[in-house]
Amino acid sequence: MANDTTSKGSRDAWITAAYQALIEQGVDAVRIAPLSKRLKLARTSFYWFFEDRETLLQALLDQWKKNTDALTNRADAYAETIVEAVLNVNDCWLDPRLFDAQLEFAVRSWALQSPEVAALIEAADATRMESLRQMFLRFGYDATAADVRSRTIYLVQIGYISMNTVEDVETRMRRIPQYVEAFTGKIPEPRDIDRFKSRHGLLDKGEPQ
């Protein structure tokens, strides 16, 4: 029957298709006709789940906003030292379930043609850097040092994303201790790095748990 929801897909299916189109081709590719073709569904089925294209685009932005939530949550997470705190933040860069770098790049590209999205990016950047600044303040850094160090962490990672830098996990892991030292002025203990590796399933066999 025509009212069988399986013939219309699902809201999540439309969002997933829109996400893939945004990542692969940019926001101009997020249109109802090509998405319905991708999903092999009638165009009219779109309107069972979304009022219009703008509603679908907002769903993508809502998904992107989870990047900010993840970063601020990791910056606020319990840590005994600033080294541990910075490694908590680094969870975002190794776990795409926390921070979706592909979506971040796509939304930043979208912002180049949308003042509204550019304003969202600007607000997100401010929120993220403030959470990092507060992290440094918690560990006794003065206001200027907290500002500069938080900006350094954030702008380095956004540079990675904006330049579409390809870096395998092994290379990133080799660099993390030096990054942490550069960001904090503290040399991480081997146990700090081991705990970080362990929670990402990267501790080499034979290394202490």
Sign of CA dihedral 185, 177, 101, 95: negative
Are both 159 and 64 inside the same structural domain? yes
Query: pLDDT tens-digit profile of 135-166?
Result: 999 999 999 999 999 999 999 999 999 999 88
Q: Tell me, what's the pLDDT at 160?
A: 95
Residue 206 located in a structural domain: no
Are both 36 and 135 inside the same structural domain? no
Are both 141 and 185 inside the same structural domain? yes
Q: How many domains does the chain have?
A: 2
Confidence of residue 208 (pLDDT cuts 50, 70, 90): very low
Are both 86 and 21 inside the same structural domain? no
Residue 150 located in a structural domain: yes
Distance CA(20)–CA(60), nearest Å, equals 10
Mean pLDDT of the residues in the chain: 93
Distance CA(149)–CA(83), nearest Å, equals 13
Name residues whose C-beta falls within 8 Å of residue 67's C-beta, 6 or more positions apart in sequence.
92, 99, 100, 103, 104, 124
Q: Is the pLDDT of residue 207 over 60?
A: no
Q: Tell me, what's the pLDDT at 6?
A: 52
How many CA atoms lie within 13 Å of 146's alpha carbon, on the beta-carbon side? Answer: 17
Tokens linked to 196: 């970080």
CATH number of the domain that residue 17 is part of? 1.10.10
Taking the whole predicted model, whether its pTM rises above 0.85 is answered as: yes
- List the domain range (segments joined by +) for residue 13: 9-50
Are both 161 and 65 inside the same structural domain? yes
Distance of CA 144 to CAs 127, 148, 207, Å? 17, 6, 38
Q: Tell me, what's the pLDDT at 7?
A: 61
Check if the beta carbon of residue 169 is closer than 8 Å to that of residue 202. yes
Distance CA(32)–CA(158), nearest Å, equals 31
Q: Average pLDDT, stretch 60-76? A: 98
Check if the beta carbon of residue 39 is closer than 8 Å to that of residue 13. yes
Q: Tell me, what's the pLDDT at 92?
A: 97
Distance CA(8)–CA(41), nearest Å, equals 6
Are both 193 and 142 inside the same structural domain? yes
Confidence of residue 74 (pLDDT cuts 50, 70, 90): very high
Are both 75 and 176 inside the same structural domain? yes
Are both 65 and 164 inside the same structural domain? yes
